[in-house]
Amino acid sequence: MIELNGIYKLKHIIGLKNNDISDFKVVGFSEDKRFVGCIKLNGEDSGEGYVFETKCLIDPEKPEDIYYGELIRKE
């Protein structure tokens, strides 16, 4: 379960070589909990805020579920 103030990594996109391996801290949820507001804790652009779909974060209750989507086209 994704929780407020929890620290998570993003799921990987299949076919993308440079997936982000930074840690993100959840600082808020949308009313329907479909989206989360996060702060990037390390790596390039640390301290920046981001919004993701909740299903883009790796849930510690499902550690084997690490992929989200597939790269369709790269320009």
Walk along the chain (75 residues) and give the pLDDT tens digit of each residue: 999 999 999 999 988 888 999 999 999 999 999 999 999 999 889 999 999 999 999 999 999 999 998 777 656
Alpha-carbon span 5 to 3, nearest angstrom: 6
Alpha-carbon span 23 to 10, nearest angstrom: 8
Considering only CA atoms, which of 8, 33, 5 is closest in space to residue 21?
Answer: 8
pLDDT of residue 15: 84
pLDDT of residue 71: 73
Rg over CA atoms, the chain: 12
pLDDT of residue 74: 56
Residue type, 31: E
